[in-house]
């Protein structure tokens, strides 16, 4: 074909309104459409719909972004948005962010998340997940991502025990940011948040001079509010300990520290890791006396899960950058005589272990590594260090499917086999979910 025969794409302009047929889902909570051959990532739509959308970003030679402003042909899975302030009836600039799947039936949300996971594992991890094609594909995908206890009964509402709100610097009004923006949107309620958080949320009052408002509703403590001021790194009360419950086990966690936001998520992940370790024990692959590690260990939740499966005599070292979280882990694991909590960057700690003596390296080789890295994943550097240490097993908890898939490829290239993969919908009405992958050397 000569250059004169090449189709010419009409450039899209920011603010332009176009009609789009939505064909698929992409990572990040947006759907996929095409306009004149160009990929358009579109917010607030569902695959299978036809919508009118306003262009918000235009990359002439690659892709564009748009936001739905009118649904012309609705999916049977479309619902009234769970949060009125995030509804498609609102101007896109005035929609509250943080509930980008709130217009989709819960079961379809899980199916879409499963599509994202299977696509990520195929494209970035080189793994084909065994999901059968056919009339029941949607059901199979929905089953791949497990619901948290109670969410179907509550419609996926009222689960968040930690919420950060922002303060408009001009008006002092408190609210979430607009979707994909830094503009504060006043709201009447927080439907994803727990009753305790909604009780104390300052949604109808101004807080001039403040920057952020963190709302915390611990499982075994009173709700509390932490107010952050502009330019201040330390927030008053953030270092106070609050009490959390995971089943019948208590944990102390700093009010400003990391803890899973879904009321049931700590127990869901605790149980998943415990069961994964129990499976390794049953297969004769777990050594409680080896050099077992809990990387990015936080307050010790997953190390405690390891001990629940292997017994209180298990040897395990947690590694966490935040000193306050390490202190919490020391307290929460105090009954485990073989538990140690280290404050260190994970890559630096692993670097030191790689220089350890032969007997120490042998214990690490017989050990199991549990890791729960940030959204960016462990990355090639840390996965390379883990592969060099060569533990018998790796149990990986991930909050981002693409990061998990990339790290999966690194581990598989280093000789590890992916033997188990589960996913958990502990962020209903958002595109986020958690996964657990088990690798064996």
Known catalytic residues are 399
Q: What is the 3-state secondary structure (H, E, C) of 231-242?
A: CCCCCCCCCCEE
Q: How far is the C-alpha of 263 from the C-alpha of 154, rounded, in Å?
A: 13
- End-to-end CA distance of the chain: give it in Å, rounded: 51
Q: How far is the C-alpha of 40 from the C-alpha of 35, rounded, in Å?
A: 7
Nearest to 196 by CA among 173, 174, 224: 224
Q: How far is the C-alpha of 321 from the C-alpha of 150, rounded, in Å?
A: 33
What residues form DSSP beta bridges with 393? 368, 440
Compute how many other C-beta atoms are within 10 angstroms of the C-beta atom of residue 282.
10
Contact 102, 91 (CB under 8 A): no
User: What is residue 5's DSSP assignment?
Assistant: G
Beta strands in 27-111 (DSSP E): 30-35, 38-43, 50-58, 63-73
User: What is residue 391's DSSP assignment?
Assistant: -
> Half-sphere exposure of residue 403, counting CA atoms within 13 Å on the CB side?
21
Contact 277, 395 (CB under 8 A): yes
Locate 183 and state its tokens: 């503009």
Q: Is 220 exposed, middle or buried (0-12, 13-18, 19+ CB in 10 A)?
A: exposed
The distance of Cα 120 from the centroid of its chain, to the nearest Å, equals 15
What residues form DSSP beta bridges with 435? 398, 423
Q: Is 390 exposed, middle or buried (0-12, 13-18, 19+ CB in 10 A)?
A: middle
DSSP 220-233: TS--EEEEEPTT-S
Beta strands in 59-106 (DSSP E): 63-73
Q: Where do we find the tokens 């790290």?
A: 407
Q: How far is the C-alpha of 302 from the C-alpha of 269, rounded, in Å?
A: 8
């Amino acid at each position: 074909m000569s250059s004169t025969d090449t189709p010419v794409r009409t450039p899209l302009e920011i603010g332009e309104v176009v009609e789009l047929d939505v064909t698929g889902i992409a990572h990040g909570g947006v759907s996929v459409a095409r306009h004149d051959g160009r990929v358009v990532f579109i917010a607030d739509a569902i695959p299978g719909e036809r919508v009118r959308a306003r262009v918000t970003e235009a990359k002439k030679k690659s892709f564009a972004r748009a936001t739905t402003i009118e649904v012309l042909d609705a999916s049977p899975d479309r619902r009234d948005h769970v949060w009125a302030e995030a509804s498609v009836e609102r101007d896109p600039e005035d929609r509250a962010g943080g509930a980008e799947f709130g217009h989709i039936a819960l079961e379809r949300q899980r199916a879409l998340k499963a599509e994202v996971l299977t696509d990520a594992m195929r494209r970035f991890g080189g793994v084909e997940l065994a999901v059968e094609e056919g009339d029941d594909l949607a059901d199979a995908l929905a089953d791949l991502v497990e619901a948290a206890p109670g969410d179907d009964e509550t419609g996926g509402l009222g689960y968040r025990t930690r919420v950060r709100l922002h303060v408009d610097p001009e008006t002092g009004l408190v609210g979430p940011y607009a979707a994909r923006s830094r503009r504060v949107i006043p709201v009447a309620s927080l439907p994803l948040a727990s009753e305790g958080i909604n009780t104390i949320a300052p949604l109808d009052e101004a807080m001039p001079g403040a920057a952020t408002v963190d709302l915390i509703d611990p499982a075994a403590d009173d709700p509390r509010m932490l107010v952050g001021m502009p330019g201040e790194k330390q927030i008053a009360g953030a270092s106070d300990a609050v009490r959390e419950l995971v089943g019948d086990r208590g944990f102390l966690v700093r009010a400003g520290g990391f803890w899973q936001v879904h009321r049931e998520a700590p127990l869901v992940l605790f149980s998943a890791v415990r069961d994964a370790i129990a499976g390794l024990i049953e297969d004769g692959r777990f050594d409680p006396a080896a050099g077992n590690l809990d990387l990015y260990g936080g307050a010790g939740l997953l190390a405690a899960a390891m001990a629940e499966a292997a017994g209180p005599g298990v040897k395990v070292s947690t590694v966490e950058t935040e000193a306050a979280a390490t202190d919490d882990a020391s307290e929460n694991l105090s009954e485990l005589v073989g538990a140690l909590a280290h404050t260190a960057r994970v890559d630096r700690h692993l670097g030191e272990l790689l220089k350890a003596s032969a007997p120490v390296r042998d214990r690490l080789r017989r050990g199991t590594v549990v890791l729960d890295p940030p959204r960016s994943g462990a990355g090639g550097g840390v996965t390379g260090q883990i592969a060099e240490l060569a533990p018998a097993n790796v149990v990986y908890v991930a909050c981002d499917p693409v990061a998990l898939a990339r790290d999966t490829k690194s581990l598989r290239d280093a000789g590890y086999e992916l033997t188990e993969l589960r996913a958990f919908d502990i962020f209903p009405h958002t595109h986020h979910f958690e996964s657990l992958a088990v690798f064996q050397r």
